[in-house]
Structures are given as structure tokens and as C-alpha cells.
């Protein structure tokens, strides 16, 4: 190997080792999620993607959040999908036009925000249920 090729090889090896080390250090870290409470309306559920939804957020408690999200439309993913679930949590599923109350997180990746709904409750317009009824788990 020539001297220049040897230096290039060592530089590449060193760069790879630093990158792998940095990646390995970020791998086992636990990141605490800080969901916020929000209400909104489902504008549309994307066909072919069972967890991507266009939401119009009408109200959000962003006092403890690192983002502002009131009165805007966002693309977000639903952690447990948009179809009904019978497990834990038991969720009714969502469709266009549904009004929901939700627990939502947002994190910035590069120049875009990723939003995720973890739990949600359907808001019924004329609910005849007794006051204090427990929401879906």
C-alpha cells in the first residue's frame, strides 16, 4: 500500500469507528415521552396506510410541549392504527369527520415535525351517557 492510500484507509476506518460508537451510545437510551392533550377533527385517513391521518387540531394544551399546534392541520400517525382494537387499549377506530380527544406527541427530525397519537377518545355530539363516564382505555 502506498503512503497516501494507507492514510486514506486509516481515516476511513477512524470515521467509521467514531460513527459506530456514536450510534451505539444513542441506541439503548430511554426517551421519556411527554404527550399533550388535544382535541381535533379527522379530515381524512390515508388509504393504504392504516395509521396515517390528516387531523385539524382545534385545541391543544401546549404549555409543557416544545411545539405550538393550535388551529392547524397536521399529518400524524396513530400508534395503534386507525382500525378498531379490542385489546388494551380498546379503541373505536377513526374515520373522516370524527371529532376526537387525544394524547399526542411531536418531535422534530431535521426540518419536519413527526406527530403521533397514542390514545384517543371519540367525542360524541349528543351524548346521553351519564356525566363522569370513563373513556376508552
Q: Does the pLDDT of residue 7 top 60, yes or no? A: no
The grid cell for 92 is 373505536
Percent of the chain at pLDDT exceeding 70: 68
CA 127 – CA 137 distance, rounded (Å) = 18
CA 50 – CA 82 distance, rounded (Å) = 6
**What pTM does this model have?**
0.66
Rounded mean pLDDT of 77-100?
90
Rounded mean pLDDT of 28-32?
66
* pLDDT at residue 19, as a whole number: 46
Position 51 confidence tier, pLDDT thresholds 50, 70, 90: very high
| DSSP-assigned letter for residue 96 | T
CATH number belonging to domain 36-122? 2.40.50.320
Amino acid at each position: 500500500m502506498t503512503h497516501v492510500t494507507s492514510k486514506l484507509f486509516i481515516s476511513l476506518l477512524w470515521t467509521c469507528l467514531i460513527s459506530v460508537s456514536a450510534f451505539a451510545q444513542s441506541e439503548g437510551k430511554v426517551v421519556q415521552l411527554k404527550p399533550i392533550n388535544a382535541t381535533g377533527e379527522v379530515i381524512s385517513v390515508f388509504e393504504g396506510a392504516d395509521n396515517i391521518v390528516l387531523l385539524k387540531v382545534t385545541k391543544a394544551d401546549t404549555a409543557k410541549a416544545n411545539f405550538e399546534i393550535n388551529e392547524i392541520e397536521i399529518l400524524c400517525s396513530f400508534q395503534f392504527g386507525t382500525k378498531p382494537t379490542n385489546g388494551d387499549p380498546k379503541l373505536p377506530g377513526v374515520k373522516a369527520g370524527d371529532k376526537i380527544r387525544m394524547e399526542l406527541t411531536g418531535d422534530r427530525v431535521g426540518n419536519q415535525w413527526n406527530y403521533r397519537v397514542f390514545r384517543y377518545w371519540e367525542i360524541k355530539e349528543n351524548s346521553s351517557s351519564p356525566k363522569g363516564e370513563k373513556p376508552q382505555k
